[in-house]
Structure 1
Amino acid sequence: MIYTVTLNPSIDLVVNVPSFQLNGLNRMQKEQKFPGGKGINVSRVLSRLGAETTALGFIGGFTGAFIRDTLHEEGIGTDFIRVDGDSRINIKLKTEDGETEINGQGPSISEEQIALLREKLNALAEGDVLVLAGSIPRSLPAGLYEDLTGILSPRGVKVVVDASGEALGKVIAHRPFLIKPNHHELGELFGVTLTNAMEILPYGHQLLEQGARHVIVSMAGAGALLFAEEGTYQATVPQGKVINSVGAGDSLVAGFLSTYVRTGDLLESFRCGIAAGSATAFSSDLCTKNQVEQLLPQVKIKPVVHPIDLGAI
């Protein structure tokens, strides 16, 4: 089973206003509501790709009920912890001039509720997959991902961490199964600026030496690199028009895991991850299985034995 944790879920309210008038009346041309949060995105794509998944985290109020009910309608299992207050609403205002985001704060989480989450995750067994995705809210312990990875990874749980900064850096020594920084987040970890694959190579290898079992570094339109004990690999991304980058990284994680739990094939999992991330980027919503399958033949992977191997595939 693949479990995902979203500590601060949301309703993502996407509003289209053709010409936004500040301090005036604006009428929506179109609106959409989705359950949001990185872990929830991973679960939604996993379900669309045919993988069994359960979403965990904290929800509250009428907004939390919407998140839970929508996931159930999509056939996704949930085991959320109810909290006081309402789950947040994140507004994405799309106008002819661009996109503006207004994110809510979310409810406060008590120590008892954190303990309940730990109790649920302690029940995971060898072979289970746990995805810890997104930032850690200020009201929660900053070392939560580190603690969970340190407890569960030695038990044989495949822990996947998709976070940035300190939350990511502290889990690496605990042997996470997969981490997925983009090149900006990787540079932040090491205090450097990374602009191309050749510059990324030594830092990806360092993450393996520090404990990560698999590392995927995404570089947007420039492709991605996979670092693993089996070797280092470079993947191209399909060509297409980027419509929406929100959820592309989450889709990459879901595409990788959906194939890995079914086949154990590392490179095919990498290929599916790249196709899923691209399919979401080329769509106004998260990718579908059909969209991923259409892009798969365009994803080319080659081994990187020496920096000279980097480049066009």
Structure 2
Amino acid sequence: MSDNFDYRSVANQVLATEIEALQQLDQYFNHDFCRACEMILANKSGKVVVMGIGKSGHIGRKMAATFASTGTSSFFVHPGEASHGDLGMIESGDIVLAISNSGESSEILALFPVLKRLNNRIISMTGNPQSNMAKLADIHLQMTVPKEACPLGLAPTSSTTATLVMGDAMAVALLQARGFTAEDFALSHPGGALGRKLLMKLSDIMHSGDALPKVQPNALVRDALLEISHKGLGMTAVVEGDDQLVGIFTDGDLRRILDKRIDIHSATISEVMTRHPTVASPNLLAVEGLNLMQDKRINGLMLVENGQVVGALNMHDLLKAGVM
């Protein structure tokens, strides 16, 4: 049977069913959705405690993690464990986000009286607006799907996808409402490549001091080429006085002057340098520096403070630092 079974056809059916479910989800981004976001946003001291059982629990764990990494303090509590002691993790100022497609999960409903007594506000997220969880919650978020992708209608598929998207929509809406920035995001992601991209500044990877390529305006092109070769960045700053930047000379400039048959042994660098080059602050985030270089289609960047060259770097430095 496996030789003749059309796996791709089934996969496409699943995709079509779940896309249909998501296309209908926008009707539930309504007044109640806005109320829920406003409730969470106004809750300055408490956390969002996410609960769910079974597949809804798996989605709930991801939802809590997304909230936490985007500025909404949150954690997941398993309803079964909550009944046996973990309820102590929930404080009176917390908002409980309870997830169940049927809205009748007994493990969650059993906690409602205690949560009400603790003065916890409850947001339920279900596919059944007539369910007990929907009626007992302070705010109900509906996410009914036309059908599950499972042909038996039993395995949560479309409903869990819709729940995940609803959670992502809330997290991103809250992120934007509170003005959460890339720097804020980086504080909760300090490890790995993501942390390097978001936390690292150009000053962390720039070449400075004796490693900084620079020549005076009256230097011969030949001498500038020696400086470029010695420092290995494919460019040199042209400075005067207290390292005030007046121009830059790169490998690309060299190719252009050779095409013009300029004598590198007699011409000065001020005659052939690029004036008013693209520069950046050393305090710029490395990822922003990368974007700047890509936008300007340049391979090197001089870092300047108050007109004074303090550092330089190229694409290879960003690559080695794990920013690219």
TM-score under structure 1 length normalisation: 0.27
Higher helix share: 2
TM-score under structure 2 length normalisation: 0.26
Higher strand share: 1
